[in-house]
């Protein structure tokens, strides 16, 4: 296990290095001049001399490889420089915006678990029944539903019509209930369909027939035996959704006026802030690859016999 984790971590470093290079270079070569953007914020009629002075002050007059190496050194030391957008240290910006996205994604993952596991067990226990057919059609609609449209519907229903929430975020965990549900529902619907299929695939296994011959009830077989063996593909997709939730939170944060990492990233892209943008993208990519690693390790711990079958 240690050797496997070491190999994955080494590969993760290579992936993050490639992501950092591509994100930094693409933003820098996007054709937008952050010095001109910042100069015209102070004066719409900024002269070329003023723009050049801002460029020198921001360090944009240096060659692109030099700027990248300087930023990369700061990334490893925790000092990523100052953001062109907020004029503050990026480290300070991340301390402000990252917790908002963390709470949003954490509550979304909880919604996904609460919606996926019990409902998929119901579908597998009474497969091809009325409840199973209704849930399958509803889950298909949930997968296709745009998050921004769902967010506006929830705001209209629960904030405007019923008054249970405010249009602007409420303080505390209450302000994350609607945004997290909006972010979680499409993922939960996709995961539900996968888990239902995985459960039904295990129902025809030999150990299930043996358990029935021993007199065990269908519900007990489903919860105590089938559920564990059907988890590997579900865990893999669940961990992949973690990276999607972090990256896709920008839409939900915009709808519900949350100031998280997603909205900060969009503002930095609009300002052509290559340093802050690359820092955010590397963080999101790091979360994604770590989540994939965690899913693989968890699958190996839950079902070690599957690993032995793959290596045989």
pLDDT tens track for 22-52: 877 777 776 666 677 677 665 656 677 777 7
Distance CA 231, CA 236 (A): 9
115, 116, 122, 126: CA torsion to nearest 10: 130
Model confidence band, residue 306 (pLDDT cutoffs 50, 70, 90): low
Query: pLDDT tens-digit profile of 64-101?
Result: 788 788 777 777 777 777 777 787 888 888 888 888 88
Q: What pLDDT score does 79 carry? A: 73
Q: What share of the chain is helix, strand, coil (3-state, %, to 5)?
A: 80, 0, 20
Model confidence band, residue 1 (pLDDT cutoffs 50, 70, 90): low
| CA end-to-end distance (rounded Å), the chain | 17
Q: Report the helix count and the strand count for the chain, using DSSP H and E.
A: 15, 0
Model confidence band, residue 305 (pLDDT cutoffs 50, 70, 90): low
Query: pLDDT tens-digit profile of 118-130?
Result: 888 888 888 888 8
Q: Which of 106, 30, 86, 60 is nearest to 264 (CA)?
A: 86
Distance CA 238, CA 113 (A): 9
Q: What pLDDT score does 42 carry? A: 59
Arithmetic mean of pLDDT, 262-288: 81
Query: pLDDT tens-digit profile of 211-245?
Result: 777 777 777 878 777 777 788 888 888 888 887 78
Distance CA 200, CA 198 (A): 5
CA distances (Å), origin 130, targets 59, 204, 271? 65, 22, 52
Distance CA 16, CA 64 (A): 19
Other CB atoms within a 10 A radius of the CB of residue 201 amount to 14
Statement: residue 142 has pLDDT above 70? yes
Other CB atoms within a 10 A radius of the CB of residue 176 amount to 21
Token pair 């943008």 in the structure block, residue: 277
DSSP 127: T
The pTM of the full predicted model, rounded to 2 decimals, is 0.79
Q: Which of 63, 96, 97, 94 is nearest to 78 (CA)?
A: 94
CA distances (Å), origin 2, targets 241, 291, 311? 25, 17, 17
Tokens of 276: 């802050």
């Amino acid at each position: 296990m240690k050797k496997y984790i070491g190999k994955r971590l080494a590969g993760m470093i290579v992936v993050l290095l490639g992501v950092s290079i591509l994100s930094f270079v693409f933003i820098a070569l996007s054709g937008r001049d952050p010095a001109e953007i910042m100069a015209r914020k102070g004066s719409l009629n900024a002269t070329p001399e003023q723009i050049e002075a801002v460029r020198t002050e921001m360090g944009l007059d240096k060659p692109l490889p030099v700027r990248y190496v300087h930023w990369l050194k700061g990334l490893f030391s925790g000092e990523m420089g100052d953001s062109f957008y907020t004029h503050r240290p990026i480290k300070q910006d991340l301390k402000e915006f990252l917790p908002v996205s963390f709470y949003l994604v954490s509550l979304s993952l909880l919604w996904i678990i609460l919606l996926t596991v019990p409902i998929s067990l119901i579908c597998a226990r009474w497969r091809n029944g009325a409840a199973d057919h209704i849930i399958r059609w509803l889950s298909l609609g949930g997968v296709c539903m745009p998050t921004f449209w769902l967010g506006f519907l929830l705001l209209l229903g629960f904030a405007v019509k019923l008054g249970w929430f405010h249009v602007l975020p409420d303080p505390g965990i209450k302000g994350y209930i609607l945004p997290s549900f909006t972010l979680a529902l499409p993922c939960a619907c996709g995961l539900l369909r996968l888990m239902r299929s995985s459960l039904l695939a295990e129902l025809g296994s030999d150990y299930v027939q043996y358990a029935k011959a021993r007199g065990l009830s269908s519900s007990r077989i489903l919860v105590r035996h089938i559920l564990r063996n059907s988890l590997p593909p579900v865990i893999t997709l669940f961990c992949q959704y973690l990276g999607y939730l972090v990256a896709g939170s920008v839409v939900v944060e915009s709808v519900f006026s949350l100031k998280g990492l997603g909205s900060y990233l969009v503002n930095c892209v609009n300002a052509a802030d290559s340093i802050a943008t690359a820092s955010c993208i590397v963080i999101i990519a790091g979360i994604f690859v770590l989540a994939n690693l965690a899913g693989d390790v968890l699958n190996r711990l839950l079902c070690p016999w599957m690993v032995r079958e793959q290596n045989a």
